[in-house]
Structure formats: structure tokens, C-alpha cells
Structure 1
């Protein structure tokens, strides 16, 4: 199978590398020439514009920083829209806004073109070993057509509904993840303030009802070790929270707990932590109560 990838950042670059090692023919486009060269050295083929890439590859993944870049990539002068064919299938993996995804799908459908949305979750390590969670929105036949491709990069692939459903689910998943991380961080920080050992606290939490991905992975591997290497930035987490709460506002659904969590994340973002890893929300909590959680 031949697949083009537009956007070679933390996730896109690793997905491209994974597909190359799995034997796929991979086309590449990104403004970062260094990243492109590294993947070309592994066997990828680079292109000067998204449109040129679309002329050679039937399947195209877009995994970009934000919705504005997605729109420009699809609709811009050198974009995909006028270069795609009826056989093409766009796989939109950006953490994007569901309303915009549906808008773009309407444009695609009007032009007799196809797309699905398939955002991913799991972080850098899972992108490298092909065990991402992928939430997919689109027509069943389109999803089935690229299922072997999705299986090469994901371990848990769930078809959640029509186009736009994948991005809806990604925002809601991150709303839960962000709230859980913040709540767990606050509880562990309070325990440290009261004289408890954070390692032993996590031993108890992880064998009890407070267990979560945050307590099992993020706190032991990033907070206790003080290893806040950038994977998924705080900027991106705040963006996803805003998307999720925006959907709630449109539907007039009150979000008491997650809304309060968002205020904490936005406060950390306002302190300049946006470009850093999202787990630095814990450092923001530490600063507020003047303690440090470490092993």
C-alpha cells in the first residue's frame, strides 16, 4: 500500500517512520526540511507541495498542528482539493474541530471526493511501536478499505460513527485525560504536603479505585523522575479542552468538573507553559502549594 503523509511533527514523523519500517511506500510533505531528509534517508519520497503528493498517492494522511493549517492544506492554492481523484481517500488525523471536519467533508462530498477522520491517542512511544488508539469517523466501506494501514500504526481501532465522530471522540477523551491528570496531581501533591511518600501513594492508588493512565504511567515515568520531555504539548491539550467544552456549550450541556479543570489548564498555559509537555500541569500545581513531587 502506498500512503502520503502531510505533517511530520512528533506524531506524524513517527507514524511515517513506522510505515516505512512496515514496508509501505511513503510520500512526505512538511515545512521542516530536516525531518523530511531523515525520512527520505529511510526510503520515503519528498514532495514540494501537498498537491504534488496527492497526484501520486491514493491514500493521504494529514496530521497537522491546527485546523487552520488543515484547511489551507486542503483548500489552498497548492492544496489537495484540486489534485485528488475519486479513488483518493483523505485520512485526517489532526486533533481538529469536529464542526470544521464536517464542513470539509461536505466540500469533499460535493466534489465527489472521500475522507475519514482518524485522530490518534497514546503518545510518542505508541506511535513508534504501532500501538496507538485510533478513533475513526467515516463510511464503513472507506474505513474498511484502509484498515490494514490503520492496523500498522494502531492496536485499538474503533469506528465511532460518521465523519467528524473521530474528532469528537478525541476531544472528549482528552477532556477526561486532562481532568484525571490534574485531579491525580492535586491529590498526590496534597499527600506530599502531609508527609506521605509519592511512590507509596502511587502503589496504593494503582492497586485501588483511583487507578488511571495518569497514575500508572504519567506520574511514575515523568513526574517522579522529573522527566518532562515534550511529547504532547500543553498547548495542544488546552486546544482539545477548548474544543470539547465548545461542543458542550453548543449543546447547552453543563460541564462542572471538566470546566473547572479547564480553568486550571488555562492558568498554567497563561504562565507560558504552552510549548512544554502537558505533564507540566503538575509543576504548575506544585508551584501553587510550594512542594515538589519526586521519587
Structure 2
């Protein structure tokens, strides 16, 4: 069995581990959490004690981590992956980070003969568990035929966006639009609720009309039933992504008029202690300002 490493066994990494095992790969897994390690061992993965140890046994590694600083530490730290990976190895970083960090890590990889790809994903834990993730890919195009089977082991729709960092740009733009639609739904449902229109019926109209969107199907139930603590994608993570999006926009000298306003709403919800709730909890900001409740 070919050895593949997985670093980061959280909500997304768990699905990757399971799918890689099902595809017949020998998975070497690392996570600092004892509970995550125990889970991976129970599923049939071999647990190791550091990113360095992963690189010593695998030439193909997936990482799924919370943000830029942790990704950089995992790759380049004292026990970093890049210290042990051999030339010709592949790293698929499925984390959502800033394009500049992705480019910097890619350059470090080039110097060591390692192929680093920024591969942020969309589809959430459910998509990860089902192996149906949408994967955005940035990096060396010449090796795409060689890496596609690995990517198809965890995802369904695979888009090559361009050179290193391009996939992170795409993911940040994607998540900004998701955040804007989520906030817009909360506003519209608040207006409807306060005007006496059942939000569930309003959602049904949107689902069949031009306002149809996938955000409604994924996050709508939490908004309509007020089950914001049922976390599909945490508000903390969306807040982080919006900050990275705004940073990228500033670097490109693009005004963030809509996204910036929505980012402030996420900032407010995070300040209220709702970071661990679902990202749709941003709707509570509008509910509280309007002195209404969407859930019926």
C-alpha cells in the first residue's frame, strides 16, 4: 500500500483519513490532539508524533489546518514537514490561508525539490466524509496528471486555478460571497418575520425563484430554526477567512464595500462570544438590531 500522510485530523481531516483508507492507502496521521490521534488509530491509520515523522514515511501529504501561522509552523518549524520530505514529494495543503503564505511555502518547496500545492476545499465536513469535496488547486501545472488520483481520493470537482496562491485567492473570494449571502438571508428573513411573513414560506419562494442559492440549503435550516449552535462551518473560521479576503483585496487595491460591511457583522458576532457557533449566527446581529426573531 502506498503511504500517504495526513496532518490535521479535525472536522475536515477526519473525512480525508477515512477516504484515503477506503481507497487502499496506508495513512500516517498526525494531530496534537490526543483524542484525534485515538480516533485515527481506531480507524486504521498509523499515528505518528510530529509533522517531521510524517515526512519521513510518506512522499504524499495532505494537511488540513486552522490558519496561516499553524500551516507555516507545520511546514517549516523545528519538527516541520519540509525537514524530512524527500525531493519529488507532494504536499497538498487543504487549509484556507493567505496567498502570500502559500507562495512563500511553494518557494521553500521548490528549493528542496518538494511540490507544494495550495488546495483549499469547499463542501464542509459532510463533503469531506463523502469524498465529494470541491478542490481548488494552485501550483506547478506540469505535475497535474501525476497528482489527480490523490486529489480524487478526497474530492469530486477539481479546478486548477493557476500558479501557487491562485487557489487561495479563489477560496477567499468564494467564502466572501458565502458570507455576504448568509448575512443577506438573515436580513431578508428578519424583514419578512417582522412584517408578518413566515420565513419558511419566504425561503420556499427564494428556493424556487431567482434568489435560489446553495447557501440557503446548507445554512438555511440553522437560520430558520435558530439552531446556530449546530456548527456546519464555524463563525471563527469564516471571520478568519474574511480577514484574509480583505487583506488580499487591499493588496490588489480593490475596495471591499460589500464584503467589508459583512465582515464587521461577523466581527460583532465574534465579539459577542459566538465564534464557536455556526457561521450563520451572523444573522443574530441583524435579529438583535431589529428586535425580532427569525425562528418560528
Do Structure 1 and Structure 2 share a fold, with TM-score over 0.5?
Answer: yes
The 1-side partners of 2:192 and 2:89 are apart by 54
- Other structure's SS at 2:110 match: helix
Match of 1:65 in 2: 66
Structure 2 residue 227 is the aligned partner of structure 1 residue 214: no
Shift of 1:225: 3.2
Structure 1 residues 7-22: aligned runs within 5 Å: 7-22=8-23
- Other structure's SS at 1:158 match: strand
CA-based RMSD of the aligned residues comes to 1.4
Structure 2 residue 114 is the aligned partner of structure 1 residue 128: no
Structure 1 residues 31-46: aligned runs within 5 Å: 31-46=32-47
Match of 1:292 in 2: 293
Number of equivalences: 294
Match of 2:261 in 1: 260
Structure 2 residue runs without a partner (length 5+): none
12-21 vs 77-86, greater mean Cα deviation: 12-21
Match of 1:84 in 2: 85
The 1-side partners of 2:249 and 2:105 are apart by 21
- Other structure's SS at 1:159 match: strand
- Other structure's SS at 1:224 match: helix
Match of 2:226 in 1: 226
Match of 2:176 in 1: 175
Shift of 1:215: 2.0
| Aligned residues of 2:55 and 2:84 also touching (Cα < 8 A) | yes
Deviations along 1:155-176, one digit per CA (max 9) or x if unpaired, are 2110011111111111110011
Deviations along 1:6-41, one digit per CA (max 9) or x if unpaired, are 011111122212222332211100011112112212
Shift of 1:112: 2.3
Match of 2:237 in 1: 236
- Other structure's SS at 1:293 match: coil
| Aligned residues of 1:5 and 1:26 also touching (Cα < 8 A) | yes
Shift of 1:95: 0.7
Structure 1 residue runs without a partner (length 5+): none
Deviations along 1:114-139, one digit per CA (max 9) or x if unpaired, are 11110101111111111111100011
- Other structure's SS at 2:272 match: helix
TM-score by length of 1: 0.95
> Residues 197 and 126 (structure 1 numbering): CA distance in 2 closer, same or farther, change over 3 Å?
same
| Aligned residues of 2:14 and 2:129 also touching (Cα < 8 A) | no
- Other structure's SS at 1:273 match: coil
Deviations along 1:252-285, one digit per CA (max 9) or x if unpaired, are 1112111211111111112111122211112232
| Aligned residues of 1:116 and 1:142 also touching (Cα < 8 A) | no
Deviations along 1:61-104, one digit per CA (max 9) or x if unpaired, are 11111111111111111111220111211111111111011011
Structure 2 residue 243 is the aligned partner of structure 1 residue 245: no
- Other structure's SS at 1:157 match: strand
The 1-side partners of 2:281 and 2:19 are apart by 28
Match of 1:30 in 2: 31
222-231 vs 60-69, greater mean Cα deviation: 222-231
Shift of 1:193: 0.6
| Aligned residues of 1:10 and 1:231 also touching (Cα < 8 A) | no
| Aligned residues of 2:225 and 2:294 also touching (Cα < 8 A) | no
The 2-side partners of 1:179 and 1:270 are apart by 19
> Residues 2 and 141 (structure 1 numbering): CA distance in 2 closer, same or farther, change over 3 Å?
farther
Structure 1 residues 148-159: aligned runs within 5 Å: 148-159=149-160
